[in-house]
Structure 1
Amino acid sequence: MSQNLIKLIDNFQNKKIMIIGDMVADVYLEGRISRISREAPVLVLEHAGETVVPGGAANAVHNAATLGGAVYAVGVVGQDSAGLELTNILKTKNVNTEGVIIDPSRPTITKTRIMAGGQATVRQQIVRVDRESKEELTHDVNQKLLKFIEATIPGMDAVVISDYGSMSISPAIREQVVETCNRAGVASMVDSRYNVMAYSGIKFVKQNESEAAAAVGYKTLSNDDQLKYAAGTILERLDAEVVLITQGSEGMTLFHRNGFTIHIPVTNISKVYDVTGAGDTVVVTMMLALAAGADYADAARLANFAAGIVVRKPGTATTTPEELKAAIGEYYL
């Protein structure tokens, strides 16, 4: 088992994967606690640094690149410093950013976290400020994205739609991706926070428990019967082939439309640090594994190992082939 998984990781290298979605700049504004303000009962922080990290679909892009994929990023950024820095970060990872369109009429989706800490205190987030447009894409931007998608998808090994609900994926883009992938025989997966049932015809679906529950009208999935019902309903409504539902500390379960089901428990429940962005890691690892020749079960196992690594790291994190191999080797000792 372990040698087969490790061989698949080697085969990730240079697999072409397109990731389409909401490109987010996660900004961490660091401050040292100085005193309490005299103006209001709030902390005064001395600026200690600022870091931009790829978030949203850009985190999926970052993960795929770190794992060795030849990544094509598709989305929208604003004509601002956050968009420029985010694009430059992806370029340093050898990501093809020709499909990242600059739209001067909207800001780059930005989530700024104010982090406070000091020598005798624990570093913690005290507030988050989000900036994004709620407007639909302009006709011009939409057409540029559609043109790039249609021309580039036939050369891909896999395509991922990372839909965080921030208006980067229009109905036309959604339909174009599914149609072009199916026509070209390219494996496609969607990870949608709020709107998964709109992706009719997509072959692979990833949802966490709360997303899957909302998709079928439940508040939660509190037992196996409800989990199976949610997966079955998504498979049927979308005419999908596979649904992967992540379940936090319970691991993940893969459902195939032919009735095949496999549950994969977590590998390191005692070491969870931060689950931010772990779903992005799951999606791209699974799709790179399928592109590398894995069957569904092994692709999900690799995705599970990758998620187990990034949840040990703070914030939106990535893993490397070497870390993935080490985790597999340690587990199968």
Structure 2
Amino acid sequence: MATGLRRRCGDSTIRPILNANLPTVPWERLIELIEGSEPRDVVVIGDYMLDSYLYGDAERISPEAPVPVVRVVGETAAVGGAGSVAANIAALGDRAWCIGIVGDDDAGRTVRRLLSELGADVSGLMAVSARPTTRKTRLVGLAQHRHRQQMMRIDAEQTEPISPDVVASLLAQLESRLGHCSVICLQDYGKGVVTPELASRAITAARQAGASVLVDPARSPDYSRYAGATLVTPNRSETELVSGLKLPCVAAVAASAERIRSACRTEHVCVTLDAEGIALLTADGRVEHVPTRSRDVYDVTGAGDAVLAALAAATARGASLLEAAAIANVAGGLEVEKFGCVPVTRDEMLGELLRLSHEQLGKRRELTRLLPELERRRRRGERIVFTNGCFDLLHPGHIAYFAECRRLGDVLVVGLNSDASVRGQGKGDDRPIMNEDDRARMLSALADIDYVVLFDEPTPIRLIESIRPDVLAKGEDWAERGVVGREVVERSGGRVVLIRLLEGYSTTALLERIRGRRGSG
């Protein structure tokens, strides 16, 4: 990675914290933070708005002008702006306390209703009769009735700063909640709610109360209103604007870290860098790069909201800056794969963290490390399938067998006889042909297998008792011999399935052919 950075952007001292070899933040810790036992309370102050979507088939060009004609076939609504942050916080399993304004209109009532349905507290969301609710209406064309493409956005809004009386009312709402919340979010879309006075007084009050203040800034060359906040989350272009620098890559951000922090005027800065992930610039001068994996970007709408919400949720649960940035990086990546402002849920986060952890750690596990992973998958509703064997000299019969096993559930665990266990089977002095490491490596390369765990005993009963699979799979040749672990699995409510074997393939037959050829040669 360092070589790539030098080639594109000059030398740097950036250290990736989530790389393929030695993650600074353990995956288990990130998963633990997301699972979190008790919901936390997070205050969200900012510009609340309604996102409306008009969907229609775009099948012809208007005879009146060279523009598409859209025949509306559906309409949806979602909360946007600070509401999107609150929605994401709720989707991650925490409680959002909303502070801001809406109009005394249908759009404002819809915002309050949608947030209430998500479990957010909207008692701090004031209805202001003289100011309509900010509403963004997106016209979405459907190609062939299904492929969504945003064609136009229409904004109805007033962006003048809110009055001093409204500022005072919102600050009073904040002060009443400071004793209950350890994290305050300021989501500034530049719609007039986060005035310099409100931002400054909110930050001062929160910091004096010992709360962290996380800011998603408006696009502006002046961040003075955010001075003293714990952290600000500008994207690449916003960072360039406030710092006056060109930042084509993460190395450029690292090289200018002090200047960026000085321009932002906050304790820490979390720069979101689209395909390059996140650069975390800390108060003590460190630069930490959290890279992201390549994704199919469908829509960047709401990515910043998802990042701020994940940072807040993780911080409220006791995460370090690095841990919170790593979690936020995953949330932002999941959001851009969705269309519109659709909250990233805790289940989606856990699934992605488990998948990324699986990619990094590989498929081979010790039993003690495997069991917590399987328990998490069970809580997600996934069914565990277990099978076992020596699997010495893989052949097409094995491949077909594993494919059938995988169809029986969501996660396939293969118990693999260790070399000592194989030798105890009396299969011959030259068995196993391949040692346990090679056999485990071969099994791990198969897409149908999720985990490989070795056992030294003659039978896998210890593994089966520990794993308690939903399905215990064996070849049909075990019908007469009795399947080890049947009673354990069925007593736990699981089932045993005997799988038909592919004719013409067996390790024993292959070895006899090999030995025969060697003997005749």
TM-score when normalising by structure 1: 0.93
Q: Is residue 2:131 matched to residue 1:102?
A: no
Deviation at 1:307, TM superposition (A): 1.4
3-state secondary structure, aligned to 1:275: coil
For 2:197 and 2:263, how far apart are their aligned partners in 1?
Answer: 19
Correspondences of 1:49-60 after superposition (within 5 Å): 49-60=74-85
Secondary structure (helix, strand or coil) at the match of 1:17 reads strand
List per-residue Cα deviations over 1:124-171 (Å, max 9, x = no partner): 222211111032213332222121112222321200100011111122
Whether 1:209 aligns to 2:236 is yes
Q: Report Cα offsets for 1:172-222 as digits up to 9, x if no partner.
A: 21112111111100011111022434211111111111101100123x312
Cα distance in structure 1, aligned partners of 2:38 and 2:297: 28
Shift of the 304–13 alpha-carbon distance from structure 1 to 2, 3 Å rule, reads farther
Letter in 2 for 1:316: C
**DSSP 3-state at the match of 1:51:** strand
1:295 matches 2:320: yes
* SS of 1:68 mapped into structure 2: coil
State the match for 1:137 in structure 2.
162
The alignment's C-alpha RMSD in Å is: 1.9
Question: Is the partner of 1:137 in helix, strand or coil?
Answer: coil
Task: Give the 3 Å change call, closer, same or farther, for CA 230–117 of structure 1 in structure 2.
Answer: same
Q: 2:302 aligns with which of 277, 280, 286?
A: 277
**Residue type matched to 2:34 in 1?**
I
Q: Does 1:222 align with 2:248?
A: yes
Secondary structure class of the residue paired with 1:155: coil
Aligned length: 331
Equivalent in the alignment of 1:322: 347
Structure 2: distance between partners of 1:109 and 1:120: 29
Alignment of 1:189-200 (within 5 A): 189-195=214-220, 196-200=223-227
**2:339 counterpart letter in structure 1:** P
**Which of residues 172, 175, 186 in structure 1 aligns to 2:197?**
172
Deviations 1:222-276 (A, max 9, x none): 2556413654234335553221101000111111111222101113x13322221
Residue by residue over 1:262-308, the C-alpha shift from the partner in whole angstroms, topping out at 9 and shown as x without a partner, is 101113x1332222111111111112112211111111111111112
Shift of 1:13: 4.2
Distance in 2 (alpha carbons) for counterparts of 1:120 and 1:91:
32
Structure 1 gaps of 5+ residues are none
Q: Is the 8 A contact 1:197 1:215 kept in 2?
A: no
Structure 1 partner of 2:180: 155
Are the aligned partners of 2:49 and 2:81 in contact in 1 as well (CA < 8 Å)? yes
Structure 1 residues 36 and 272, CA, compared in 2 at 3 Å: closer, same or farther?
A: closer
- The verdict on how the C-alpha distance between 1:34 and 1:248 changes in structure 2, with shifts beyond 3 A counting, is closer
Asked if 1 retains the 8 angstrom alpha-carbon contact of 2:279 and 2:290, the reply is yes
Matched position secondary structure for 1:50 = strand
1:17 and 1:288 in contact (8 A); partners too:
yes
Shift of 1:43: 3.1
User: In 2 relative to 1, CA 123–102 (structure 1 residues): closer, same or farther, beyond 3 Å?
Assistant: same
Deviation larger for 317-326 or 6-15: 6-15
Give yes or no for contact 1:201–1:238 (8 Å, CA) kept in 2. Answer: no
1:12–1:289: 8 Å Cα contact kept in structure 2? Answer: no
Alpha carbons 2:228, 2:267 under 8 Å: kept: no
Look up the match of 2:65: 40
* Cα distance in 2, alignment partners of residues 25 and 150 from structure 1: 26
| Higher RCO, 1 vs 2 (CA within 8 Å, ≥6 residues apart) | 1
Alignment CA distance shift 1:21-1:120 (3 Å): closer
Amino acid at match of 1:216: S
Give percent identity, aligned residues only.
Answer: 33
Question: Among 34, 47, 69, which residue is 1:22 paired with?
Answer: 47
Q: Which has the larger radius of gyration?
A: 2
d(CA) in 1 for partners of 2:79, 2:37? 21
User: Which residue number corresponds to residue 259 of structure 2?
Assistant: 233
What residue identity is the alignment partner of 2:120?
Answer: V
| Alignment deviations for residues 64-118 of structure 1 (CA, whole Å, 9 cap, x no partner) | 1110111101111112211111111000011001111111111111111111225
In terms of fraction of residues, the more strand-rich structure is 1
Letter in 2 for 1:76: I
Structure 1: which amino acid aligns with 2:346? Answer: P
> Are 1:189 and 1:202, in contact at CA under 8 Å, matched by a contact in 2?
yes
> Is the alpha carbon distance of 1:171 and 1:119 closer, same or farther for their aligned partners in structure 2, counting shifts above 3 Å?
same
| 1:276 partner SS | coil
TM-score (norm 2): 0.61
1:242 aligns with 2:268: yes
Does 2:289 match 1:263? yes
Give the direction of change, closer, same or farther, for the CA distance of 1:177–1:29 in structure 2 (3 Å limit): same
Quick check: 1:188–1:203 contact (8 Å CA) kept in 2?
A: yes
State the distance in 1 between where 2:277 and 2:249 align. Answer: 14
Contact 2:56-2:71 at 8 Å conserved across structures? yes
Alignment equivalent of 2:277, drawn from 223, 238, 251: 251
